[in-house]
C-alpha cells in the first residue's frame, strides 16, 4: 500500500470515520486517538468532529517520536559526526 503525499490529502476529515481512514485504524483506536494525542488537531461542536489533517499529521509525528524515545531510552538515533 502506497501512502498518499501530504499535499494530496484533504485539508479536513470528519468524524471517527475520518480518523479511521486517515490513520488506517479501528473505531476503538480512533476514539483513543481522539481523546489523547490527536486532541489538539480536533474541533468538536456538538456531535460534529472536524480534524485538521496537517495538524493531525504533526501530532502523529510528535507521538511517534515520543514512543520511539521511550522504547529506546531517549536515543533518537542521531549520530554526531565524531568531531
Q: What is the pLDDT of residues 13-61, one digit of tens each?
A: 999 999 999 999 999 999 999 999 999 999 998 999 999 999 999 999 9
Alpha-carbon span 82 to 47, nearest angstrom: 54
First vs last C-alpha separation in the chain: 41
Exposed / middle / buried, residue 57 (Cβ in 10 Å: 0-12, 13-18, 19+): middle
pTM score over 0.75: no
Adjacency order of strands within the sheet including 48-52? 12-14, 48-52, 42-45
Amino acid at each position: 500500500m502506497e501512502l498518499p503525499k501530504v499535499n494530496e490529502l484533504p485539508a479536513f476529515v470528519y468524524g471517527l470515520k475520518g480518523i479511521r481512514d486517515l490513520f488506517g485504524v479501528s473505531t476503538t483506536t480512533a476514539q483513543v486517538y481522539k481523546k489523547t494525542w490527536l486532541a489538539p488537531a480536533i474541533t468538536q461542536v456538538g456531535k460534529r468532529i472536524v480534524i485538521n489533517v496537517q495538524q493531525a499529521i504533526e501530532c502523529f509525528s510528535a507521538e511517534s517520536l515520543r514512543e520511539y524515545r521511550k522504547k529506546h531510552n531517549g536515543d533518537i538515533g542521531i549520530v554526531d559526526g565524531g568531531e
